[in-house]
Amino acid sequence: MGAQVKYVLDETKIPTEWYNIVADLPRPPSPALHPGTLQPLGPADLAPLFPPELIMQEVTAERQVPIPEPVREIYRQWRPSPLIRARRLEAALDTPARIYFKYEGVSAPGSHKLNTAVAQAFYNKEAGIRRLTTETGAGQWGSSLAYAGAMFGLEVRVFMVRASFNQKPYRKAMMEVWGAKCVSSPSTETEAGRRVLAEHPDTSGSLGIAISEAVEIAAQNADTNYALGSVLNHVLLHQSVIGLEALQQFEMADDYPDIVIGCAGGGSNFAGLVFPFLGEQLRGGRKVQAIACEPTACPTLTRGRYAYDFGDTGHLTPLVRMHTLGSAFVPPGFHAGGLRYHGMAPLVSLVQELGLIESRAYNQTPCFDAGVQFARAEGIVPAPEATHAIRCVIDEALRCKQEGTARTIAFNLSGHGHFDMQAYLDYFAGKLEDRNYDEAVLQAALADLPKVPA
Ligand SMILES: Cc1ncc(COP(=O)(O)O)c(C=O)c1O
């Protein structure tokens, strides 16, 4: 038999505990602040939106948090996900680098988002909640929550950013197959949506606006909670299953990454793979170079300011300390819908401030170049979000070739692009525009950041 390609774990190896990086950081994350008083939030402030167990997970400093058995049982439908050695890409690049990717596109909705959707649906069901509301950009998160709602018998309503809603009608159909309702955002169903539509009837929408809509409905109905697909500490916690499995798979492969790479929208995909490796490093283990990849059109980590800001455009959410482009930010209509958020997970922002990770921004055309090159070698058609990580991987592998170094590179292939074919058609037709976020617009948005007493 030839050299091994897939490292596949037995179902019994699905982690029994999630990993929380807070326990290993040299300083604790800054507290979230109440949007009205600007004072640190208490658990009661979050109770209208989240069930008690998720509020506890949001603030815990415990290193390990047990994964409930009913969640592990559903994880078994697609986990453990494979770790794949990209031997054909290595050959195509003629690089001495060893390239591995964790493939999260094997979940039924098609991405990593299901790891937290299942957990969030479980805890809400346990707390007696009947309905969940949420936002979605690319549609991957909305589809995942729809699937999780079907598993636990919860109603799900998804506000989908208008640009993606129009680009991807089949995502809506998929959510409906799993019993969820999907509406284009901004919508006339909420005060927040109506306000935006009155001022900007032609808006392409944004995650910040869609979050305001979903939060508004949850806050007004006792039987309804809100679920967020990224950014928050508990979401990053749930995504740690990716890196925890990868650690076991690298042991099987008798290898260990020198470089770990992920694309970053709200940060949970990147953190999911990277944090368990950073945890090993922080506890005295091997050092890794960690690189977060984002679009130049939404350059949160590379050009945003590390400051307190609102999580949404309507200013209904708590303020968190993060890299932000300003909550009024509406990105240009590029194709990686899941990377269009104005902020970044506070924990990803903090590890960047601590110098534990670096970030790079890419234009979409070179990302699609990389995605197509990857698909022609490895077969899998990547989601546009994931092509940002692949661009970085190929650049690093070519650097290895130039320098004659055989480094091990690991990345998270967060999802497949089967619902993103319009993006690929536009790429082949030469219709993609590469846009930098204008410096003057950025500075104006940052000037409006909320003033928080030191
Ligand atoms: C395929 C895919 N990858 C990555 C992301 C970004 O995820 P995160 O917010 O966890 O950074 C998304 C978000 O929707 C996505 O759909």
Digitized pLDDT (tens) for each residue of the chain, 454 residues in all: 569 999 999 999 999 999 999 999 999 999 999 988 999 998 899 999 999 999 999 999 999 999 999 999 999 999 999 999 999 999 999 999 999 999 999 999 999 999 999 999 999 999 999 999 999 988 999 999 999 999 999 999 999 999 889 989 999 999 999 999 999 999 999 999 999 999 999 998 988 899 999 999 999 999 999 999 999 999 999 999 999 999 999 999 999 999 999 999 999 999 999 999 999 999 999 999 999 999 999 999 999 999 999 988 888 889 999 999 998 877 776 677 778 888 999 999 999 999 999 999 999 999 999 999 999 999 999 999 999 999 999 999 999 999 999 999 999 999 999 999 999 999 999 999 888 878 888 898 898 899 887 6
Is 185:133 a contact under the CB 8 Å cutoff? no
Rounded to a whole number, what is the distance in angstroms from the first to the last CA of the chain?
Answer: 62
* CA–CA distances in Å: residue 77 to residues 11, 118, 147, 300: 9, 11, 12, 34
- What CA–CA distance (Å, rounded) separates 363 from 437? 11
Q: State in Å: Cα 331 to ligand 1 middle.
A: 16
Q: Is the CB of 266 under 6 A from ligand 1?
A: yes
Q: State in Å: Cα 336 to ligand 1 middle.
A: 9
Q: Is the CB of 265 under 6 A from ligand 1?
A: yes
Ligand 1: nearest atom to the Cα of 235: 10
Q: Is the CB of 417 under 6 A from ligand 1?
A: no
Q: Is the CB of 371 under 6 A from ligand 1?
A: no
Q: Is the CB of 111 under 6 A from ligand 1?
A: yes
Strands (E) in 312-428, as ranges, are: 319-324, 358-362, 408-413
Nearest CA to ligand 1 atom 12: 338
Strand partners, 412: 102
Q: State in Å: Cα 3 to ligand 1 middle.
A: 31
- What is the reported pTM? 0.97
**Pocket mutation for ligand 1, best pick of 300, 390, 414 (most atoms within 8 Å of C-beta):** 414
Nearest CA to ligand 1 atom 9: 266
Q: State in Å: Cα 420 to ligand 1 middle.
A: 13
Q: Report which of 87, 73, 9 is spatially closest to residue 246, judged by C-alpha positions.
A: 9
Ligand 1: nearest atom to the Cα of 337: 14
Q: Is the CB of 263 under 6 A from ligand 1?
A: yes
Q: State in Å: Cα 103 to ligand 1 middle.
A: 13
Q: Find the Cα–Cα–Cα–Cα dihedral 15, 16, 19, 23, rounded to 10°.
A: -150
Strands (E) in 82-152, as ranges, are: 83-85, 98-103, 131-136
**Pocket mutation for ligand 1, best pick of 339, 347, 352, 412 (most atoms within 8 Å of C-beta):** 339
Structure tokens at 346: 């506070």
Q: Is the CB of 300 under 6 A from ligand 1?
A: no
- What CA–CA distance (Å, rounded) separates 26 from 395? 32
The one-letter amino acid at 72: R
Q: Is the CB of 164 under 6 A from ligand 1?
A: no
**Phi, psi angle pair for 433, to nearest 5°:** -110, 140
Nearest CA to ligand 1 atom 14: 338
Q: Give all domains of the chain, ordered by start, each with its CATH number.
A: 6-13+68-110+233-447 (3.40.50.1100)
Nearest CA to ligand 1 atom 1: 415
